[in-house]
Amino acid sequence: MKSNSGRWYGVITLFVIVAISYVDRINISVLINDPAFLSHMGIDRGDRASQGFLATAFMLGYGLSSFVVTPFVAALLGVRKSLICGLILWALVIFMTPYFHGYSILVASRFLLGVAEGPLFSLASSYIKAHFEGHENGKPNSFVNMGTGLGLAFGYPLIGYLLVNFHWDMSFYALGLLNVLLCIPLIFAFVHMPQSFAYASKPASVADAVARVGEIIKGALKTHNLLVITILTSAALAYLWGSSNWLPAYLKEARGFSLKELGWIASLPQYAIVLAVPLGGIIIDKLERRHVPLLFMVASVGVAASVLFAINAQDPYSAAYSLIAANFCWGIFSPAIPSTVQYYSRPEHTASAFGVVNGTGSLVAGLMPTLMGYVIAAVTATAGASGGVKSGFFFGFSMLIGTQLVVFVCGLALLLRERSGFRKIAVAL
């Protein structure tokens, strides 16, 4: 175990930042149910594709930033300064959004917000790699990933409350203040990298910086099983982004819940993630390394089965309970993704390797909200006004089942490769 008595304070700080980042991400998914917001931004209520593309725009910026920006900030600024600079840009974009008029500039602001948040998980992964050994990284990874579920769980009722009691722009101002007044001071206080960590020192020159970045990118791309992990991550994030961005509209339009109800009902599947992620971390630390891919396989089957039951349930509450179960299963395997990247990557390449995985995965997953929007709109138009909306959402959510098939296959591939490698080592010994 690496000696650093304050390392868990850094993990808690990253957990808080991740939680707030996910409130930022789903802010728009709640606001698209508000006529005043749609009117201000020039969005038609029935234009599901355009509404879904707002999430896609964020993910495009997020993915490109994770892939392209992460190696530069990791080499030039380090974890701490990179987080601070990202949060400053993050807060500025959020504060300015209510002053924008029109769909195009809103899309641009979501893209820029994605750029600001892009390196977050990669930098968090680098921090954990520096402070925790491989056999103990399940718990810190799961704790940081808990911010995903808590942010979504806290975000839906928070944005719903602000929307009911204030004007829609209050949600942007509140989130911007949280970034400035809470997250930045926490980073200054608790996020510190060990001096012995590779590339902790500042580059001596521009040429040195460019050389470092080149080395990091090359090393990251040589990470074992990088392609399989990237495909798996793409499918896992596609589920999360597709379900979380269309969940409020699904509950309201297809299941008949009121705007006031959908805030807390939409939060329940996210609390399931919060409960499941630490359990997943504990399981990871208990399992032998070669058995960790089984977690992807078993949990993905649970997600797919739960979504299938949800879209076929007649009772709206039964559908909601099924989506809670689906998110619980997703939360079980989610901390295994960064843990697997850390396991296969070198310490100096971890941030960039996770940037490749998370960035590419985010770019692919970012298409899911738009694709679901197209399917929802197309089926709704085909089925007609009577049952069209419900059928549209059911077909849209059925796409989430396909993502879990991909997770299962990738988990199987990792399991077979891990066992093959284990057998080779055993024979050599």
CA diameter of the chain: 69
Contact 417, 340 (CB under 8 A): no
Q: Quote the Cα angle for 301-274-280, to 5°.
A: 50
- 355/230 Cα distance (integer angstroms): 10
Residue 281 structure tokens: 């971390």
3-class SS at 46?
A: coil
The 10s digit of each residue's pLDDT in 16-50 is 999 998 888 878 888 888 889 999 999 988 787 78
- 79/396 Cα distance (integer angstroms): 38
Q: So what's the pLDDT on residue 203?
A: 56
C-alpha torsion sign, points 236, 241, 244, 249: negative
Q: So what's the pLDDT on residue 224?
A: 86
Q: Average model confidence (pLDDT) for the chain?
A: 83
Contact 426, 288 (CB under 8 A): no
Residue 55 structure tokens: 């999430």
Q: So what's the pLDDT on residue 421?
A: 65
Mark the ranges of the chain whose per-residue pLDDT is less than 70: 1-5, 71, 74-75, 134, 195-217, 219-220, 259-260, 263, 348, 351, 383-388, 421-429
Sequence-ordered list of residues with C-beta below 8 angstroms from that of 364, at least 6 positions apart, any chain: 63, 234, 237, 238
Q: So what's the pLDDT on residue 261?
A: 73
Q: Which amino acid, residue 51? A: Q
Burial of 301 (0-12, 13-18, 19+ CB in 10 A): middle
Tell me the residue length of the chain. Answer: 429
Mapping DSSP onto H, E and C, the string for 158-206 reads: HHHHHHHHCCCCHHHHHHHHHHHHHHHHHHHHHCCCCCCCCCCCCCCCH
- Which domains can be identified in the chain, with CATH numbers? 7-190+212-428 (1.20.1250.20)
